[in-house]
Amino acid sequence: MRTLLFSALLALGSLTSHHAMADNLIAGQHYAVLNNPVTTSQADKIEVVELFWYGCPHCYQLEPTINNWKKELPEDVNFVKIPAMFGGIWNLHGQLFYTLQALKADDSVHDAIFKALHEQNRRLASLPEITTFVAGLGIDKADFEKTWNSFGVKSQLEKAKKLAVAYQVSGVPALVVNGKYRFDIGMAGGLQETASVADALIAKERDAQ
């Protein structure tokens, strides 16, 4: 009984702090309001989108914070990761992300790619290099190559490109809350603060519904 009461008090305290922070956030300083709201993928949930690139050092630094944060998200929040594609190797790595997503690869595979790029000086700048690397992680080579060129992956790539434009994103990492509010690490004030700003904007959207 005491455990349940303590958990309820913690949840209430967290909710209150998120609302308090939302009241202190300033549009144009801590987040940008999109001129044209973007339709979310699930109308019945508050959507949080993270736009990233495997080769981005700040995305790599933010990854542990995001991974821990998304594990604790309430049921009414949907988290979506989208690769930003600004041409060249960005597009190649975006195709890598969606291929792995189609193959239902777990987070450990994505973590290994980040580490390869940022700790092992791998570039993963060509399909043969990428195929060899993911095969070493236990991904079937034939399945990977077939999925890489699939209609589903190409459709996701086109959708992601259009969303990045709609979100008015020019750099990564960037987070978008419910298709309305965009912010980055600098606007949030740091890596750890990024999750707090996301929580506050989620609370803001929940109040508006």
Please compute the mean of the pLDDT values over residues 41-67 and round it to a whole number: 97
Mean per-residue pLDDT of the chain: 92
Residue 169 has pLDDT above 50, yes or no: yes
Angstrom distance (rounded) from CA 136 to CA 129: 11
Nearest to 125 by CA among 89, 77, 164: 89
- Contact between 204 and 22 (Cβ < 8 Å): yes
Per-residue CA distances from 116 to 12, 83, 124, 130 (Å): 41, 17, 8, 11
pLDDT for 5 equals 42
**pLDDT band per the 50, 70, 90 thresholds, residue 22:** confident
Neighbours of 140 (CB within 10 A): 12
Please compute the mean of the pLDDT values over residues 155-180 and round it to a whole number: 98
**pLDDT band per the 50, 70, 90 thresholds, residue 155:** very high
List, in order, residues 6 or more apart from 145 with CB less than 8 Å away.
Answer: 131
Residue 156 has pLDDT above 80, yes or no: yes
Helix (H) / strand (E) element for 117: namely: helix 107-118
Neighbours of 180 (CB within 10 A): 19
Q: What is the pLDDT of residues 4-14, one digit of tens each?
A: 444 344 444 55
pLDDT for 106 equals 92
Nearest to 136 by CA among 120, 149, 151: 120
Point out the least confidently predicted range of 21-35, 51-65, 109-123, 141-155. 21-35
- What is the amino acid identity at position 116? A
Please compute the mean of the pLDDT values over residues 94-116 and round it to a whole number: 97
Q: What is the pLDDT of residues 116-137, one digit of tens each?
A: 999 999 999 999 999 999 999 9
Nearest to 47 by CA among 70, 15, 23, 79: 79
Please compute the mean of the pLDDT values over residues 25-49 and round it to a whole number: 97
pLDDT for 23 equals 80
What CATH architecture is 2-208? 3-Layer(aba) Sandwich (3.40)
Q: What is the pLDDT of residues 173-183, one digit of tens each?
A: 999 999 999 99
Angstrom distance (rounded) from CA 23 to CA 109: 38
Q: Sketch the domain layout of the chain as residue ranges.
A: 2-208
Residue 16 has pLDDT above 90, yes or no: no
